[in-house]
Homo-oligomer: A and B are copies of this chain.
Amino acid sequence: MATVRAVTGLACQAAKLQTRVSQRSARNSQLMRSCTTTMSAEAETAPVLAPVRKRRKIDPMTPPPPASEFPPWEPRPFFRFEILHTSSKSGARVGRLHTPHGVVDTPGFVAVGTNAALKAVDGPWADAEGQQLQFCNTYHLLLHPGADVVEAAGGLHSFMNRQRPLITDSGGFQVFSLAYGTVHEEVNSLKRGSGKSRHKSEHNLVAKVTEEGVTFRSYRDGTKMLLTPESSVLAQKQLGADIIIPLDELPPYHTEPAVLAASLARSHRWMARSLHTHLSDIRQQVMYAVVHGGMSLELRQQSVDYLTSLPFDGFAVGGSLGKNREELFWLLERIMPRLHERGASSKPVHILGIADTESIPKLVTYGADTFDSCYPTRVGRHGSMLTANGPLRVTSGQYKTAFRTPVEGCTCHTCRTHSLAYLHHLVKAKEPLAASLLAIHNLHHMNAMMAGLRQKILADEI
């Protein structure tokens, strides 16, 4: 049986965090040397994450540590959420996230660059379309090139040469998606009655969940890896994004109430551990808590109440948010006011993984501030351009001779440069350039849409 491989030295790192801070400069230059000289040979298969310490089995409903175990929240000199206006008509608000890498206007769209790269779009091209905050996925970056490599580069901003704000997740989302599949896959498989939503090979990659953390196999080389709250935070310290996320469990949509309650308790315990690890070495980062509880209002409220009692810098709404848009709205309409009442009124709220053009205008009215999704680049790759009237299917035969601006009034690189007929041709001819051009437009569309929403909120129109 394969054993979980450990990186020498990592097991002691949590206890040594404080001393590390003062020694960072020296260590970084050492790391740079060791990476350049020795990492290349081994890094390809090196597992990154190891247990901090072995925990005994505990009662699944063990409550997480109380707020009294944490210092009170205090403003960070390097991070500030400024609310410019709250609509008189709804909970919608216009604000600014001030981060060490510049400002994010809110409500704002967050583009997902999984592997520290947007799909077929270079950073400067996205910046030119107004992209501010960008998401990178810790899970993928751990598998390649490895958090050590990114740290040796000087962090994600240096590695990908992005001088604007970044956010990373904990890595848990992808691990649990491998285990359970997405809500979409789960609901569809139940409809089909198959009861199986994932390929067997994918199931083999995942995932033993213990109090310690979650064990999974690298899809790249099969290496068995253990992701813990502590190791996720350590990895995110190495990546160095402006905003980081604690490890949480992501139970599927159809989860028994008792199991869901136990999962929530574990997520709370994990997030408390994550916060402890983060607070022992804050650097220039802030941490958002992730509100869980699935479709149970009672558990969601419990989650809000606990997490807002801790000194997190912002909040993300995660876990299963319903199997369709109606359920999403139903849930958020009830949870968001409580989140604001209990402490988030002056802190940013992020919606994890939902940023479709139909959902955002409603979600901002509940006071949600940022929204991430790979949707704009993905639909671009699949041949669609986002417009105010919904997606425009570029492959449609009617556009073969549409020698006009693809989306009238759009000022993106693509619409300024090319006709709809040309884009139609590129997609039909399977030219790889099509993916870039359509994604560039779609990113512009999202950012322009958000700017429009901000204007409407400022005018109290929504």
Q: Does B149 lie within 8 Å of A400, measured CB to CB?
A: yes
Q: Does A426 lie within 8 Å of B117, measured CB to CB?
A: yes
| List of B residues within 8 angstroms of A116 by Cβ | 422, 425
Chain A interface, number of residues (Cβ within 8 angstroms): 54
Given A39-B401, A119-B433, A418-B161, verify A428-B144 contact (CB < 8 Å). Answer: yes
| List of B residues within 8 angstroms of A144 by Cβ | 425, 428-429
Q: Does B431 lie within 8 Å of A145, measured CB to CB?
A: no
- CB-CB contacts below 8 Å: A99-134 with B: 115-124
Chain B nearest CB: distance from A138 CB in Å? Answer: 14
By beta carbon, the residue of chain B nearest A433 is B117
Chain B nearest CB: distance from A164 CB in Å? Answer: 14
A197 close to B (CB within 8 Å): no
Chain B CB within 10 Å, residue with most, of A117, A153, A397, A428: A117
A238 close to B (CB within 8 Å): no
Q: Does A401 lie within 8 Å of B35, measured CB to CB?
A: yes
Q: Does A403 lie within 8 Å of B153, measured CB to CB?
A: yes
**CA gap between A367 and B417 in the complex, in Å:** 37
Chain B CB within 10 Å, residue with most, of A36, A417, A432: A432
A436 close to B (CB within 8 Å): yes
Pick from B145, B158, B398, B422: contact of A40, CB under 8 Å? B398
A374 close to B (CB within 8 Å): no
**CA gap between A425 and B117 in the complex, in Å:** 10
| List of B residues within 8 angstroms of A35 by Cβ | 401
Q: Does B397 lie within 8 Å of A428, measured CB to CB?
A: no
A91 close to B (CB within 8 Å): no
Q: Does A153 lie within 8 Å of B419, measured CB to CB?
A: yes
A41 close to B (CB within 8 Å): yes
Q: Does B120 lie within 8 Å of A436, measured CB to CB?
A: yes
By beta carbon, the residue of chain B nearest A432 is B120
A152 close to B (CB within 8 Å): yes
Given A116-B425, A145-B425, A401-B149, verify A121-B43 contact (CB < 8 Å). Answer: no
Q: Does A122 lie within 8 Å of B161, measured CB to CB?
A: no
Chain B nearest CB: distance from A424 CB in Å? Answer: 8
By beta carbon, the residue of chain B nearest A152 is B401
By beta carbon, the residue of chain B nearest A436 is B436
| List of B residues within 8 angstroms of A402 by Cβ | 36
1/0 per residue, CB under 8 A from B, across A391-427: the answer is: 0000001111111000000000100011101101110
A297 close to B (CB within 8 Å): no
Chain B nearest CB: distance from A43 CB in Å? Answer: 6
| List of B residues within 8 angstroms of A160 by Cβ | 418, 422
A44 close to B (CB within 8 Å): yes
| List of B residues within 8 angstroms of A398 by Cβ | 40
Chain B CB within 10 Å, residue with most, of A115, A421, A435, A437: A421
| List of B residues within 8 angstroms of A417 by Cβ | 122-124, 161
| List of B residues within 8 angstroms of A422 by Cβ | 116, 153, 159-161
A154 close to B (CB within 8 Å): yes
Residues of chain A whose beta carbon lies under 8 Å from any beta carbon of chain B: 32, 35-36, 39-41, 43-44, 115-124, 140, 144-145, 149, 152-154, 158-161, 381, 397-403, 413, 417-419, 421-422, 424-426, 428-429, 431-433, 435-437
29 A-B contacts, Cβ less than 8 Å apart? A35-B401, A39-B400, A41-B397, A43-B401, A44-B397, A115-B425, A115-B426, A115-B431, A116-B422, A117-B433, A119-B433, A120-B120, A121-B433, A122-B417, A122-B433, A145-B421, A145-B424, A145-B428, A152-B403, A153-B401, A158-B403, A159-B419, A159-B421, A161-B417, A381-B432, A432-B432, A432-B435, A432-B436, A433-B436
Instruction: List 5 tightest A-B contacts by C-beta distance, closest first.
Output: A35-B401, A115-B429, A120-B432, A145-B425, A40-B400
* Additional A-B contacts beyond A39-B401, A122-B437 (18; CB < 8 A): A40-B398, A40-B399, A115-B431, A119-B433, A120-B432, A122-B413, A122-B433, A145-B428, A145-B429, A149-B401, A152-B403, A153-B419, A153-B421, A158-B403, A159-B403, A159-B425, A161-B419, A381-B432
